Structure 1
Amino acid sequence: MKVGDLVVRKSYGGDITFRIEGLYDHISLLKGTDYRLVADAPTSDLVNVPETTMKRRKQQAQIKMIESVEALEQHRQRQSERRQTEFQFANAPNQAAHFEMPGKVLHLDGDPNYLQKSMTLYNQLRVPAEGHYVSEAKMSEAVYTLLPRSRPDIIVITGHDGVLKGLKHRDLYSLQSYKNSQNFVNAVKTARQYERNLDMLTVIAGACQSHFEALLQNGANFASSPGRIMIHALDPAYVAAKAAYTSIRDTIHIADIAPHTITGTEGLGGIETRGSHRLGMPKWKDLSTLNVTPSVT
Protein backbone atom coordinates (compact mmCIF):
# COMPACT_ATOMS: atom_id res chain seq x y z
CA MET A 1 0.00 0.00 0.00
CA LYS A 2 1.16 3.54 -0.75
CA VAL A 3 -0.21 7.07 -0.67
CA GLY A 4 -2.60 7.63 -3.56
CA ASP A 5 -3.81 4.03 -3.81
CA LEU A 6 -7.55 3.44 -4.20
CA VAL A 7 -8.78 1.03 -1.54
CA VAL A 8 -11.81 -0.34 0.31
CA ARG A 9 -12.09 -1.63 3.88
CA LYS A 10 -12.65 -5.38 4.28
CA SER A 11 -14.35 -4.93 7.65
CA TYR A 12 -17.02 -2.71 6.07
CA GLY A 13 -17.66 -4.98 3.14
CA GLY A 14 -15.90 -2.67 0.68
CA ASP A 15 -18.86 -0.25 0.67
CA ILE A 16 -16.93 2.99 0.04
CA THR A 17 -13.90 3.66 -2.14
CA PHE A 18 -11.11 5.66 -0.50
CA ARG A 19 -7.83 7.17 -1.54
CA ILE A 20 -4.93 6.73 0.89
CA GLU A 21 -3.91 10.21 2.07
CA GLY A 22 -1.24 9.18 4.56
CA LEU A 23 0.49 6.17 6.11
CA TYR A 24 1.43 6.14 9.81
CA ASP A 25 2.96 2.92 11.15
CA HIS A 26 0.20 0.37 10.57
CA ILE A 27 -2.61 2.93 10.18
CA SER A 28 -3.75 4.55 6.94
CA LEU A 29 -5.49 7.93 6.70
CA LEU A 30 -8.30 7.65 4.14
CA LYS A 31 -10.43 10.10 2.19
CA GLY A 32 -13.56 9.08 0.28
CA THR A 33 -13.34 9.53 -3.48
CA ASP A 34 -17.07 10.22 -3.90
CA TYR A 35 -18.39 10.49 -0.33
CA ARG A 36 -17.55 13.22 2.17
CA LEU A 37 -15.79 10.97 4.62
CA VAL A 38 -12.34 11.02 6.21
CA ALA A 39 -11.40 7.88 8.14
CA ASP A 40 -8.50 5.87 9.41
CA ALA A 41 -8.08 2.12 9.29
CA PRO A 42 -5.46 -0.53 9.89
CA THR A 43 -3.54 -0.94 6.68
CA SER A 44 -4.09 -4.69 7.00
CA ASP A 45 -7.86 -4.05 6.65
CA LEU A 46 -7.43 -2.45 3.22
CA VAL A 47 -7.75 -4.00 -0.20
CA ASN A 48 -6.80 -2.34 -3.45
CA VAL A 49 -9.77 -1.62 -5.70
CA PRO A 50 -9.57 -3.44 -9.03
CA GLU A 51 -9.59 -1.02 -11.94
CA THR A 52 -12.72 -2.64 -13.38
CA THR A 53 -14.58 -2.17 -10.09
CA MET A 54 -13.51 1.46 -9.85
CA LYS A 55 -14.67 2.14 -13.40
CA ARG A 56 -18.04 0.54 -12.70
CA ARG A 57 -18.59 2.59 -9.55
CA LYS A 58 -17.62 5.79 -11.32
CA GLN A 59 -19.97 5.01 -14.19
CA GLN A 60 -22.86 4.37 -11.80
CA ALA A 61 -22.28 7.65 -9.97
CA GLN A 62 -21.83 9.49 -13.28
CA ILE A 63 -25.09 8.12 -14.67
CA LYS A 64 -26.96 9.28 -11.57
CA MET A 65 -25.37 12.72 -11.73
CA ILE A 66 -26.15 13.08 -15.44
CA GLU A 67 -29.78 12.22 -14.70
CA SER A 68 -29.81 14.81 -11.92
CA VAL A 69 -28.31 17.49 -14.15
CA GLU A 70 -30.82 16.72 -16.89
CA ALA A 71 -33.67 16.98 -14.37
CA LEU A 72 -32.42 20.43 -13.33
CA GLU A 73 -32.12 21.53 -16.94
CA GLN A 74 -35.69 20.38 -17.63
CA HIS A 75 -36.94 22.18 -14.52
CA ARG A 76 -35.25 25.38 -15.61
CA GLN A 77 -36.66 25.10 -19.14
CA ARG A 78 -40.21 24.49 -17.89
CA GLN A 79 -39.96 27.43 -15.52
CA SER A 80 -38.65 29.71 -18.25
CA GLU A 81 -41.45 28.71 -20.62
CA ARG A 82 -44.07 29.21 -17.93
CA ARG A 83 -42.83 32.68 -17.06
CA GLN A 84 -42.59 33.64 -20.74
CA THR A 85 -46.23 32.64 -21.13
CA GLU A 86 -47.13 34.85 -18.16
CA PHE A 87 -45.44 37.81 -19.84
CA GLN A 88 -47.43 37.16 -23.01
CA PHE A 89 -50.70 37.01 -21.10
CA ALA A 90 -49.75 40.35 -19.57
CA ASN A 91 -49.60 41.78 -23.13
CA ALA A 92 -45.88 42.36 -22.87
CA PRO A 93 -44.50 43.39 -26.29
CA ASN A 94 -42.52 40.73 -28.14
CA GLN A 95 -39.42 42.89 -28.20
CA ALA A 96 -39.46 43.03 -24.42
CA ALA A 97 -38.26 39.46 -23.96
CA HIS A 98 -37.19 38.54 -20.45
CA PHE A 99 -33.79 37.82 -18.93
CA GLU A 100 -32.95 35.41 -16.12
CA MET A 101 -31.17 36.01 -12.82
CA PRO A 102 -30.47 32.71 -11.02
CA GLY A 103 -29.49 32.88 -7.37
CA LYS A 104 -25.81 33.32 -6.55
CA VAL A 105 -24.04 30.60 -4.55
CA LEU A 106 -21.22 31.01 -2.04
CA HIS A 107 -19.71 27.54 -1.52
CA LEU A 108 -17.35 26.90 1.39
CA ASP A 109 -15.78 23.45 1.38
CA GLY A 110 -13.37 21.68 3.72
CA ASP A 111 -12.08 19.54 0.85
CA PRO A 112 -10.34 21.13 -2.18
CA ASN A 113 -11.11 18.19 -4.48
CA TYR A 114 -14.83 18.20 -3.67
CA LEU A 115 -14.85 21.99 -4.02
CA GLN A 116 -13.49 21.66 -7.55
CA LYS A 117 -16.10 19.03 -8.43
CA SER A 118 -18.85 21.27 -7.08
CA MET A 119 -17.61 24.32 -9.00
CA THR A 120 -17.54 22.23 -12.18
CA LEU A 121 -21.20 21.30 -11.59
CA TYR A 122 -22.19 24.94 -11.02
CA ASN A 123 -20.40 25.94 -14.20
CA GLN A 124 -22.11 23.16 -16.14
CA LEU A 125 -25.52 24.36 -14.93
CA ARG A 126 -24.64 28.05 -15.42
CA VAL A 127 -25.16 28.83 -11.75
CA PRO A 128 -23.21 31.93 -10.65
CA ALA A 129 -20.99 30.61 -7.87
CA GLU A 130 -17.99 31.58 -5.78
CA GLY A 131 -16.02 28.83 -4.06
CA HIS A 132 -13.50 28.82 -1.22
CA TYR A 133 -11.51 26.01 0.38
CA VAL A 134 -11.79 26.52 4.15
CA SER A 135 -10.97 24.09 6.95
CA GLU A 136 -14.01 23.15 9.00
CA ALA A 137 -12.59 24.77 12.15
CA LYS A 138 -12.40 28.14 10.36
CA MET A 139 -15.81 28.00 8.66
CA SER A 140 -17.51 30.45 11.04
CA GLU A 141 -14.74 33.02 10.63
CA ALA A 142 -14.86 32.63 6.84
CA VAL A 143 -18.64 33.05 6.77
CA TYR A 144 -18.32 36.26 8.82
CA THR A 145 -15.77 37.66 6.35
CA LEU A 146 -17.15 36.41 3.04
CA LEU A 147 -20.91 36.91 3.36
CA PRO A 148 -20.84 40.74 3.35
CA ARG A 149 -18.31 40.69 0.53
CA SER A 150 -20.00 38.10 -1.69
CA ARG A 151 -23.67 38.89 -0.86
CA PRO A 152 -24.97 35.52 -2.13
CA ASP A 153 -28.54 34.23 -2.22
CA ILE A 154 -27.40 30.75 -1.17
CA ILE A 155 -24.51 29.59 0.99
CA VAL A 156 -23.17 26.03 1.15
CA ILE A 157 -21.16 25.09 4.26
CA THR A 158 -19.71 21.61 3.87
CA GLY A 159 -16.60 19.47 4.07
CA HIS A 160 -15.95 16.39 6.21
CA ASP A 161 -17.79 15.11 9.26
CA GLY A 162 -18.70 11.84 10.93
CA VAL A 163 -19.77 10.16 14.14
CA LEU A 164 -16.69 9.62 16.30
CA LYS A 165 -15.46 6.10 16.98
CA GLY A 166 -14.33 4.86 20.36
CA LEU A 167 -16.68 6.96 22.51
CA LYS A 168 -17.53 5.24 25.78
CA HIS A 169 -21.03 6.70 25.82
CA ARG A 170 -22.06 7.71 22.32
CA ASP A 171 -25.00 10.11 22.29
CA LEU A 172 -26.17 11.05 18.80
CA TYR A 173 -28.07 14.00 20.28
CA SER A 174 -24.78 15.51 21.47
CA LEU A 175 -22.61 17.57 19.15
CA GLN A 176 -19.61 16.18 20.98
CA SER A 177 -20.21 12.84 19.26
CA TYR A 178 -19.39 14.32 15.83
CA LYS A 179 -16.11 15.30 14.23
CA ASN A 180 -17.16 18.67 12.74
CA SER A 181 -20.89 19.22 13.36
CA GLN A 182 -20.13 21.84 16.03
CA ASN A 183 -18.01 23.75 13.50
CA PHE A 184 -20.83 23.64 10.95
CA VAL A 185 -23.36 24.77 13.58
CA ASN A 186 -21.13 27.72 14.48
CA ALA A 187 -20.91 28.70 10.82
CA VAL A 188 -24.70 28.48 10.40
CA LYS A 189 -25.17 30.70 13.46
CA THR A 190 -22.82 33.27 11.95
CA ALA A 191 -24.73 33.19 8.67
CA ARG A 192 -28.00 33.81 10.52
CA GLN A 193 -26.49 36.74 12.39
CA TYR A 194 -25.87 38.25 8.96
CA GLU A 195 -29.34 37.43 7.56
CA ARG A 196 -32.15 36.13 9.77
CA ASN A 197 -34.76 35.75 7.01
CA LEU A 198 -34.81 32.11 5.88
CA ASP A 199 -35.98 33.11 2.39
CA MET A 200 -33.43 35.88 1.86
CA LEU A 201 -30.43 33.61 2.45
CA THR A 202 -30.72 29.87 1.87
CA VAL A 203 -28.25 27.99 4.08
CA ILE A 204 -27.18 24.44 3.12
CA ALA A 205 -24.93 22.84 5.71
CA GLY A 206 -23.31 19.59 6.78
CA ALA A 207 -21.42 16.60 5.45
CA CYS A 208 -21.28 12.85 6.15
CA GLN A 209 -23.23 11.84 9.27
CA SER A 210 -23.64 15.46 10.41
CA HIS A 211 -26.05 16.44 13.20
CA PHE A 212 -29.05 17.19 10.99
CA GLU A 213 -31.34 18.41 13.77
CA ALA A 214 -28.80 20.80 15.30
CA LEU A 215 -28.04 22.37 11.92
CA LEU A 216 -31.73 23.02 11.21
CA GLN A 217 -32.44 24.28 14.73
CA ASN A 218 -29.66 26.83 14.37
CA GLY A 219 -30.83 28.22 11.06
CA ALA A 220 -29.99 25.94 8.14
CA ASN A 221 -32.66 25.53 5.44
CA PHE A 222 -31.23 22.20 4.27
CA ALA A 223 -28.80 19.93 6.06
CA SER A 224 -27.28 16.48 6.32
CA SER A 225 -27.61 13.80 7.50
CA PRO A 226 -31.05 12.68 8.80
CA GLY A 227 -30.09 9.01 8.70
CA ARG A 228 -26.48 9.65 9.80
CA ILE A 229 -25.26 8.16 6.54
CA MET A 230 -22.46 9.13 4.16
CA ILE A 231 -23.49 11.75 1.62
CA HIS A 232 -22.18 12.08 -1.91
CA ALA A 233 -19.69 14.86 -2.56
CA LEU A 234 -22.03 16.67 -4.96
CA ASP A 235 -25.32 16.38 -3.05
CA PRO A 236 -25.02 19.82 -1.32
CA ALA A 237 -24.13 21.45 -4.66
CA TYR A 238 -27.17 19.88 -6.32
CA VAL A 239 -29.47 21.31 -3.65
CA ALA A 240 -27.84 24.73 -4.13
CA ALA A 241 -28.35 24.56 -7.89
CA LYS A 242 -31.99 23.62 -7.40
CA ALA A 243 -32.46 26.63 -5.11
CA ALA A 244 -30.70 28.91 -7.61
CA TYR A 245 -33.12 27.96 -10.39
CA THR A 246 -36.37 27.76 -8.42
CA SER A 247 -38.51 30.88 -8.82
CA ILE A 248 -38.88 33.25 -5.88
CA ARG A 249 -42.61 32.60 -6.34
CA ASP A 250 -42.18 28.89 -5.69
CA THR A 251 -41.16 26.74 -2.76
CA ILE A 252 -38.29 24.27 -2.89
CA HIS A 253 -39.61 20.96 -1.59
CA ILE A 254 -37.14 18.36 -0.36
CA ALA A 255 -39.42 15.72 -1.86
CA ASP A 256 -38.60 17.19 -5.29
CA ILE A 257 -34.87 17.21 -4.58
CA ALA A 258 -34.36 13.83 -2.91
CA PRO A 259 -34.93 11.62 -6.00
CA HIS A 260 -32.14 13.46 -7.81
CA THR A 261 -29.49 13.28 -5.07
CA ILE A 262 -27.30 10.24 -4.62
CA THR A 263 -28.28 9.64 -0.98
CA GLY A 264 -31.95 10.75 -0.92
CA THR A 265 -33.81 11.82 2.23
CA GLU A 266 -31.54 9.72 4.45
CA GLY A 267 -28.66 11.92 3.37
CA LEU A 268 -30.28 15.37 3.07
CA GLY A 269 -33.39 17.01 4.47
CA GLY A 270 -34.73 20.46 5.15
CA ILE A 271 -37.62 22.88 5.41
CA GLU A 272 -39.71 24.45 2.65
CA THR A 273 -37.91 27.49 1.34
CA ARG A 274 -38.52 30.01 -1.43
CA GLY A 275 -36.28 29.82 -4.48
CA SER A 276 -33.85 32.53 -5.62
CA HIS A 277 -34.46 32.67 -9.39
CA ARG A 278 -35.80 35.93 -10.82
CA LEU A 279 -36.90 37.05 -14.27
CA GLY A 280 -36.64 40.60 -15.57
CA MET A 281 -37.46 42.54 -18.70
CA PRO A 282 -36.62 43.80 -21.21
CA LYS A 283 -33.88 41.41 -22.27
CA TRP A 284 -30.39 42.88 -22.02
CA LYS A 285 -29.29 44.44 -25.30
CA ASP A 286 -26.09 43.94 -27.21
CA LEU A 287 -24.54 47.32 -26.42
CA SER A 288 -22.09 46.99 -29.33
CA THR A 289 -25.04 47.33 -31.74
CA LEU A 290 -26.66 50.41 -30.19
CA ASN A 291 -26.40 53.77 -31.94
CA VAL A 292 -26.22 56.07 -28.95
CA THR A 293 -25.84 59.85 -29.12
CA PRO A 294 -23.59 61.04 -26.26
CA SER A 295 -25.37 63.51 -23.97
CA VAL A 296 -22.70 64.46 -21.42
CA THR A 297 -19.54 66.45 -22.04
Structure 2
Amino acid sequence: MKLSSFIIRHRKTIVILWAVIILASTPALLGYSHYITYSSSGAVNPSSESQIASQILEKSHTTNSSLVILVLQNPFLNNSTAARTLSMQTALQSLGIRDLASTTSPFSAYASFINTAIGRNATLIAWLYNETRINATTMYSFPSAFYSSWSSHSYTYDSIMASALDAGFNSSMPYEAAFISELNRTAGANNVSGSESVSQPLQAVMSAILIAYNESYPQYQIGEYSPGSYISYHYLGLNNYSDSVSVAVAGYLRQYFPATPDLVNATISGGNVGINYVRMYGLAGAPQYLTDQYVSSDRSAFIVSVIFSVPSGLRGER
Protein backbone atom coordinates (compact mmCIF):
# COMPACT_ATOMS: atom_id res chain seq x y z
CA MET A 1 0.00 0.00 0.00
CA LYS A 2 1.37 3.44 -0.85
CA LEU A 3 2.32 5.60 2.08
CA SER A 4 0.11 8.43 0.90
CA SER A 5 -2.89 6.09 0.77
CA PHE A 6 -2.10 4.71 4.22
CA ILE A 7 -1.94 8.16 5.76
CA ILE A 8 -5.13 9.29 4.07
CA ARG A 9 -6.97 6.22 5.39
CA HIS A 10 -5.51 6.55 8.89
CA ARG A 11 -5.63 10.25 9.48
CA LYS A 12 -5.96 9.93 13.24
CA THR A 13 -2.37 8.85 13.62
CA ILE A 14 0.75 9.67 11.64
CA VAL A 15 3.84 8.29 13.25
CA ILE A 16 7.30 8.85 11.89
CA LEU A 17 9.41 7.29 14.58
CA TRP A 18 12.42 6.98 12.33
CA ALA A 19 12.51 10.77 12.04
CA VAL A 20 12.82 10.96 15.83
CA ILE A 21 15.68 8.47 15.88
CA ILE A 22 17.50 10.12 12.98
CA LEU A 23 17.18 13.66 14.25
CA ALA A 24 18.05 12.63 17.81
CA SER A 25 21.31 11.22 16.49
CA THR A 26 22.18 14.53 14.88
CA PRO A 27 21.14 17.14 17.47
CA ALA A 28 23.12 19.96 15.89
CA LEU A 29 21.14 19.75 12.66
CA LEU A 30 18.78 22.39 11.44
CA GLY A 31 17.60 24.12 14.55
CA TYR A 32 14.21 22.76 13.51
CA SER A 33 13.22 21.16 16.81
CA HIS A 34 10.38 23.62 17.34
CA TYR A 35 9.11 23.28 13.76
CA ILE A 36 9.01 19.50 13.36
CA THR A 37 6.14 17.32 14.53
CA TYR A 38 7.13 13.67 14.85
CA SER A 39 3.70 12.27 15.59
CA SER A 40 0.15 13.24 16.33
CA SER A 41 -2.86 11.35 17.57
CA GLY A 42 -6.48 11.84 18.49
CA ALA A 43 -9.11 13.82 16.65
CA VAL A 44 -7.95 15.44 13.46
CA ASN A 45 -8.81 19.02 12.62
CA PRO A 46 -8.00 20.88 9.37
CA SER A 47 -5.06 22.73 10.91
CA SER A 48 -3.45 19.76 12.65
CA GLU A 49 0.00 18.59 11.64
CA SER A 50 -1.31 15.21 10.51
CA GLN A 51 -3.96 16.83 8.32
CA ILE A 52 -1.38 19.20 6.79
CA ALA A 53 0.93 16.27 6.00
CA SER A 54 -1.93 14.27 4.55
CA GLN A 55 -2.95 17.10 2.27
CA ILE A 56 0.57 17.46 0.94
CA LEU A 57 1.03 13.72 0.47
CA GLU A 58 -2.19 13.44 -1.50
CA LYS A 59 -0.34 15.24 -4.30
CA SER A 60 2.68 12.90 -4.38
CA HIS A 61 3.12 9.15 -4.56
CA THR A 62 5.82 6.73 -3.51
CA THR A 63 6.19 3.06 -4.40
CA ASN A 64 8.55 1.91 -1.67
CA SER A 65 8.58 2.62 2.04
CA SER A 66 9.08 6.23 3.02
CA LEU A 67 8.95 8.36 6.14
CA VAL A 68 7.88 11.97 6.37
CA ILE A 69 9.32 14.92 8.26
CA LEU A 70 6.80 17.73 8.49
CA VAL A 71 8.40 21.16 8.88
CA LEU A 72 6.03 23.83 10.13
CA GLN A 73 7.62 26.76 8.36
CA ASN A 74 6.97 28.67 5.14
CA PRO A 75 9.71 27.47 2.74
CA PHE A 76 9.43 30.67 0.69
CA LEU A 77 10.21 33.09 3.50
CA ASN A 78 13.99 33.01 3.71
CA ASN A 79 16.97 31.25 2.18
CA SER A 80 18.27 29.95 5.51
CA THR A 81 15.41 27.44 5.51
CA ALA A 82 16.74 26.00 2.27
CA ALA A 83 20.29 25.81 3.58
CA ARG A 84 19.27 24.06 6.82
CA THR A 85 17.01 21.60 5.02
CA LEU A 86 19.68 20.65 2.49
CA SER A 87 22.20 20.23 5.30
CA MET A 88 19.80 17.92 7.11
CA GLN A 89 19.29 15.83 3.96
CA THR A 90 23.04 15.52 3.49
CA ALA A 91 23.44 14.44 7.12
CA LEU A 92 20.70 11.83 6.83
CA GLN A 93 22.35 10.35 3.73
CA SER A 94 25.67 10.12 5.58
CA LEU A 95 24.33 8.14 8.56
CA GLY A 96 24.54 4.77 6.82
CA ILE A 97 20.90 3.87 7.51
CA ARG A 98 20.07 0.50 6.00
CA ASP A 99 18.01 0.60 2.78
CA LEU A 100 17.90 4.39 2.78
CA ALA A 101 17.69 5.37 -0.88
CA SER A 102 17.26 9.12 -0.87
CA THR A 103 15.69 12.14 0.73
CA THR A 104 13.67 14.77 -1.08
CA SER A 105 12.34 18.19 -0.18
CA PRO A 106 11.06 21.12 -2.20
CA PHE A 107 14.61 22.47 -2.17
CA SER A 108 16.43 19.36 -3.39
CA ALA A 109 13.66 18.75 -5.94
CA TYR A 110 14.04 22.29 -7.30
CA ALA A 111 17.83 21.91 -7.38
CA SER A 112 17.44 18.75 -9.48
CA PHE A 113 14.98 20.55 -11.75
CA ILE A 114 17.49 23.36 -12.34
CA ASN A 115 20.34 20.94 -13.06
CA THR A 116 18.21 19.04 -15.55
CA ALA A 117 17.04 22.23 -17.25
CA ILE A 118 20.46 23.81 -17.53
CA GLY A 119 22.31 20.61 -18.44
CA ARG A 120 25.57 21.14 -20.29
CA ASN A 121 24.86 24.84 -20.64
CA ALA A 122 26.39 25.39 -17.20
CA THR A 123 29.89 25.15 -18.66
CA LEU A 124 28.96 27.54 -21.46
CA ILE A 125 27.45 30.08 -19.05
CA ALA A 126 30.52 30.01 -16.81
CA TRP A 127 32.81 30.48 -19.83
CA LEU A 128 30.66 33.29 -21.19
CA TYR A 129 30.68 35.08 -17.84
CA ASN A 130 34.47 34.86 -17.60
CA GLU A 131 34.98 36.04 -21.18
CA THR A 132 32.63 38.98 -20.64
CA ARG A 133 34.27 39.97 -17.38
CA ILE A 134 37.73 39.99 -18.93
CA ASN A 135 36.64 41.86 -22.06
CA ALA A 136 34.60 44.38 -20.09
CA THR A 137 37.50 45.19 -17.78
CA THR A 138 39.85 45.67 -20.73
CA MET A 139 37.29 47.63 -22.74
CA TYR A 140 36.08 50.07 -20.10
CA SER A 141 38.73 50.55 -17.41
CA PHE A 142 40.57 53.41 -19.09
CA PRO A 143 37.63 54.98 -20.99
CA SER A 144 35.58 55.01 -17.78
CA ALA A 145 38.30 56.84 -15.84
CA PHE A 146 38.79 59.19 -18.79
CA TYR A 147 35.11 59.99 -19.11
CA SER A 148 34.83 60.79 -15.40
CA SER A 149 37.77 63.17 -15.64
CA TRP A 150 36.55 64.68 -18.90
CA SER A 151 33.17 65.50 -17.37
CA SER A 152 34.89 67.82 -14.89
CA HIS A 153 36.22 69.74 -17.91
CA SER A 154 32.75 70.05 -19.46
CA TYR A 155 33.75 67.67 -22.28
CA THR A 156 35.72 70.32 -24.12
CA TYR A 157 37.94 69.48 -27.06
CA ASP A 158 41.08 71.04 -25.63
CA SER A 159 40.74 69.06 -22.38
CA ILE A 160 40.85 65.62 -24.01
CA MET A 161 44.55 65.05 -23.44
CA ALA A 162 44.54 66.57 -19.96
CA SER A 163 41.64 64.31 -18.99
CA ALA A 164 43.46 61.32 -20.46
CA LEU A 165 46.55 62.06 -18.37
CA ASP A 166 44.40 62.47 -15.27
CA ALA A 167 42.98 59.00 -15.99
CA GLY A 168 46.46 57.45 -16.13
CA PHE A 169 46.93 57.50 -19.91
CA ASN A 170 49.78 55.32 -21.16
CA SER A 171 50.69 56.07 -24.75
CA SER A 172 52.57 52.76 -25.02
CA MET A 173 49.29 50.90 -24.60
CA PRO A 174 47.89 50.46 -28.13
CA TYR A 175 44.26 50.47 -27.01
CA GLU A 176 44.54 53.65 -24.94
CA ALA A 177 46.48 55.42 -27.69
CA ALA A 178 43.95 54.34 -30.33
CA PHE A 179 41.06 55.44 -28.14
CA ILE A 180 42.37 58.98 -27.60
CA SER A 181 43.39 59.26 -31.25
CA GLU A 182 39.91 58.25 -32.41
CA LEU A 183 38.23 60.61 -29.95
CA ASN A 184 40.33 63.51 -31.23
CA ARG A 185 39.58 62.55 -34.82
CA THR A 186 35.85 62.35 -34.17
CA ALA A 187 35.80 65.74 -32.46
CA GLY A 188 37.79 67.28 -35.31
CA ALA A 189 35.51 65.75 -37.89
CA ASN A 190 32.60 67.49 -36.20
CA ASN A 191 34.42 70.84 -36.35
CA VAL A 192 34.87 71.02 -32.59
CA SER A 193 37.93 72.91 -31.45
CA GLY A 194 39.43 74.85 -28.56
CA SER A 195 37.20 75.21 -25.56
CA GLU A 196 34.08 74.05 -27.37
CA SER A 197 32.27 71.14 -25.78
CA VAL A 198 31.84 67.94 -27.73
CA SER A 199 28.17 67.30 -28.41
CA GLN A 200 26.94 63.91 -27.24
CA PRO A 201 30.20 63.07 -25.41
CA LEU A 202 29.03 59.62 -24.31
CA GLN A 203 28.23 58.65 -27.87
CA ALA A 204 31.64 59.96 -28.97
CA VAL A 205 33.38 57.86 -26.28
CA MET A 206 31.43 54.71 -27.15
CA SER A 207 32.23 55.18 -30.83
CA ALA A 208 35.92 55.58 -30.00
CA ILE A 209 35.80 52.42 -27.87
CA LEU A 210 34.29 50.40 -30.72
CA ILE A 211 36.90 51.43 -33.26
CA ALA A 212 39.90 51.35 -30.90
CA TYR A 213 38.99 47.96 -29.41
CA ASN A 214 38.55 46.29 -32.77
CA GLU A 215 41.82 47.80 -33.95
CA SER A 216 43.79 46.86 -30.85
CA TYR A 217 42.27 43.42 -30.24
CA PRO A 218 41.45 41.90 -33.63
CA GLN A 219 41.03 38.47 -32.04
CA TYR A 220 38.16 39.93 -29.98
CA GLN A 221 36.34 41.91 -32.65
CA ILE A 222 33.09 43.22 -31.23
CA GLY A 223 30.58 41.03 -33.02
CA GLU A 224 28.66 37.79 -32.91
CA TYR A 225 31.81 35.67 -33.22
CA SER A 226 33.24 37.11 -30.02
CA PRO A 227 30.35 37.00 -27.55
CA GLY A 228 32.47 38.22 -24.62
CA SER A 229 33.28 41.53 -26.32
CA TYR A 230 29.83 41.74 -27.90
CA ILE A 231 28.09 41.45 -24.53
CA SER A 232 30.53 43.91 -22.99
CA TYR A 233 29.85 46.56 -25.60
CA HIS A 234 26.10 46.11 -26.07
CA TYR A 235 24.97 45.10 -22.56
CA LEU A 236 27.43 46.95 -20.33
CA GLY A 237 28.79 50.48 -20.13
CA LEU A 238 31.22 52.88 -18.52
CA ASN A 239 29.46 52.89 -15.16
CA ASN A 240 28.38 49.28 -14.64
CA TYR A 241 31.00 47.15 -16.40
CA SER A 242 32.45 45.81 -13.17
CA ASP A 243 29.31 44.98 -11.18
CA SER A 244 26.66 43.97 -13.72
CA VAL A 245 28.32 41.17 -15.66
CA SER A 246 25.76 38.59 -14.49
CA VAL A 247 22.93 40.88 -15.57
CA ALA A 248 24.56 41.41 -18.97
CA VAL A 249 25.21 37.71 -19.59
CA ALA A 250 21.65 36.83 -18.58
CA GLY A 251 20.32 39.53 -20.89
CA TYR A 252 22.28 38.10 -23.79
CA LEU A 253 21.29 34.49 -23.05
CA ARG A 254 17.62 35.40 -22.69
CA GLN A 255 17.25 35.30 -26.46
CA TYR A 256 17.97 31.56 -26.26
CA PHE A 257 16.38 30.50 -22.96
CA PRO A 258 14.93 32.20 -19.85
CA ALA A 259 18.20 32.97 -18.10
CA THR A 260 18.35 35.19 -15.03
CA PRO A 261 21.23 36.96 -13.24
CA ASP A 262 20.58 34.67 -10.26
CA LEU A 263 21.06 31.59 -12.42
CA VAL A 264 24.31 33.01 -13.79
CA ASN A 265 25.55 33.72 -10.25
CA ALA A 266 24.72 30.17 -9.17
CA THR A 267 26.57 28.78 -12.20
CA ILE A 268 29.79 30.73 -11.72
CA SER A 269 30.01 29.65 -8.06
CA GLY A 270 31.22 26.21 -9.20
CA GLY A 271 30.03 22.79 -8.12
CA ASN A 272 26.36 21.83 -8.18
CA VAL A 273 24.48 24.65 -9.91
CA GLY A 274 21.05 23.67 -8.61
CA ILE A 275 22.21 23.39 -5.00
CA ASN A 276 24.06 26.71 -5.33
CA TYR A 277 20.93 28.39 -6.63
CA VAL A 278 18.65 27.05 -3.91
CA ARG A 279 21.09 27.91 -1.14
CA MET A 280 21.44 31.44 -2.53
CA TYR A 281 17.87 32.18 -3.64
CA GLY A 282 15.63 29.51 -2.09
CA LEU A 283 12.57 28.61 -4.15
CA ALA A 284 12.59 31.79 -6.24
CA GLY A 285 11.19 30.96 -9.66
CA ALA A 286 10.26 27.37 -8.78
CA PRO A 287 7.35 26.02 -10.86
CA GLN A 288 4.19 25.55 -8.85
CA TYR A 289 3.60 21.97 -10.01
CA LEU A 290 6.91 21.05 -8.36
CA THR A 291 6.45 22.85 -5.03
CA ASP A 292 2.84 21.63 -4.74
CA GLN A 293 4.20 18.13 -4.17
CA TYR A 294 5.97 19.22 -0.98
CA VAL A 295 4.36 22.43 0.29
CA SER A 296 0.96 22.94 1.92
CA SER A 297 -1.53 25.06 -0.01
CA ASP A 298 -1.23 27.95 2.47
CA ARG A 299 2.59 27.66 2.47
CA SER A 300 2.63 27.18 6.24
CA ALA A 301 4.53 23.88 6.09
CA PHE A 302 6.49 21.54 3.86
CA ILE A 303 7.65 17.95 3.99
CA VAL A 304 10.95 16.15 3.66
CA SER A 305 10.49 12.58 2.41
CA VAL A 306 12.91 9.91 3.58
CA ILE A 307 12.66 7.19 0.94
CA PHE A 308 13.81 3.60 1.32
CA SER A 309 14.76 1.21 -1.46
CA VAL A 310 12.36 -1.55 -0.38
CA PRO A 311 8.69 -1.78 0.65
CA SER A 312 8.05 -1.34 4.36
CA GLY A 313 7.46 -5.08 4.91
CA LEU A 314 10.96 -5.94 3.70
CA ARG A 315 12.90 -3.21 5.47
CA GLY A 316 15.47 -4.70 7.81
CA GLU A 317 14.64 -8.37 6.98
CA ARG A 318 17.64 -9.09 4.78
* TM superposition score category, shorter chain reference: under 0.3
Q: Which has the higher strand share?
A: 1
Q: Which has the higher contact order (CA 8 A, sep 6+)?
A: 2
TM-score of the aligned structures, taking structure 2 as reference length: 0.22
Q: Which has the higher helix share?
A: 2
